[in-house]
Amino acid sequence: METFSLLENTYKKMLSNHSAGDITFMGDSAGGGLAVALCQSLPELDFPQPKQLILFSPWIDATMTNPNISQFADVDPMLNSDILVGAAQRWAGEETGLIGDSLPLTSKLWDWRISPIYGELSLLPRVELYAGTREILLPDILRFNSLLREAGVGSTLHIGHGCNHVYPLFPTPEAKSAIKEICEMLK
């Protein structure tokens, strides 16, 4: 994918001026998933992992097949799983319209570059996850956190109770607290 080539080349340039231990990848929503997938691609290039990943509501499973997502559909004011799957299918260059149980196993949405939850997790750097309790991505983020820990990756889940998708990016008291934490992580 052209996007990966661009990001990998950018990271290579960063490494010529900075130690990997001084670099943090951050991303929100689809950008969070992309940051994870980029880290998963680094071992193939013999590039070192950055110090850490800081992710705000990462979209790490574009298939949207987690059965617990339906519990959040009525409380999420921002996201809709059918629209997200359609967007992911367009990103992957696939025909749109096949969702849920009708999503074939041959779909590109199962590929770790689109849905990094299905990729190799054990080589990832430390991960800080931020998610709200009012977002349909929460079930996948909870699962991702568990899978990271099973793979031996240090991971901390920061839950914004009563918060929406990418809550640290909004002008709220919860966001102010999250940003303060993140600034400490970046020191």
Taking the domains of the chain in order of start, what are their residue ranges?
A: 2-17+24-84+111-186
Distance, in Å, from the CA atom of 13 to the CA atom of 6, rounded to the nearest integer, reads 11
Mean pLDDT, residues 33-60 taken together? 97
Distance, in Å, from the CA atom of 126 to the CA atom of 124, rounded to the nearest integer, reads 7
Digit-coded pLDDT (tens) for 63-122: 999 999 999 999 999 999 989 988 998 898 887 765 555 677 788 999 999 999 999 999
**Residue 47, C-beta contacts closer than 8 angstroms, at least 6 positions apart:** 8, 11, 12, 15, 20
Q: What's this model's pTM, rounded to 2 decimal places?
A: 0.94
What integer best gives the mean pLDDT of the chain? 93
Residue in the block written with tokens 């008291």: 173
Give the confidence band of 40 by pLDDT, cuts at 50, 70, 90: very high
Amino acid identity of residue 110, one-letter, is W
Beta carbons of 174 and 57 less than 8 angstroms apart: no
**Two structure tokens written together for 13:** 């340039």
DSSP run (H or E) holding 129 = strand 126-132
Instruction: Find the largest Cα–Cα distance for the chain.
Output: 47
Bridge partner list, 52: 24, 126
Please name the CATH architecture into which domain 2-17+24-84+111-186 falls: 3-Layer(aba) Sandwich (3.40)
Beta carbons of 124 and 116 less than 8 angstroms apart: no
